Amino acid sequence: MTNPMTMIEKLIGADAGGRGLSTMLQPGDLEAAAKSLLMGNIIFIVTGFCIKSAMKGETDGPIGAVSLANSLVQLGKDIIFITDEYAFDLVSVCCNVLNLEVPIEVIPQTAAEETCRHLLQLYAPSHIVTVERPGRAADGRCYSMRGEDITQLVPNTDPLFLLAEEKGIVSIAVGDGGNEMGMGRIKDAIYALVANGEKIAAVTSAKYLIIAGVSNWGGHGIAAALSILATKQLLHDIEAEVKMLKEMVAVGAVDGCSKKRECTVDGLSLQNNLAILKGLREIVTNAIADSKEEVC
What's residue 117's pLDDT?
97
* pLDDT value for 270: 96
Nearest to 219 by CA among 97, 91, 62, 40: 62
Hey, what domains does the chain have and what are their CATH numbers?
4-286 (3.90.1640.20)
122-to-80, 83, 105 alpha-carbon distances in Å: 11, 16, 12
The pLDDT of residue 267 is above 90: yes
107-165, pLDDT tens digit by residue?
999 999 999 999 999 999 999 999 999 999 999 999 999 999 999 999 999 999 999 98
The answer, as to whether pTM is greater than 0.95, is: yes
Sign of torsion, CA 62 63 69 72?
negative
Q: What backbone phi and psi angles, to 5 degrees, belong to 36? A: -65, -45
Whether 213 and 13 have beta carbons less than 8 Å apart is answered as yes
What is the per-residue pLDDT across 176-206, written as a single tens digit (0 to 9) for each? 999 999 999 999 999 999 989 999 999 999 9
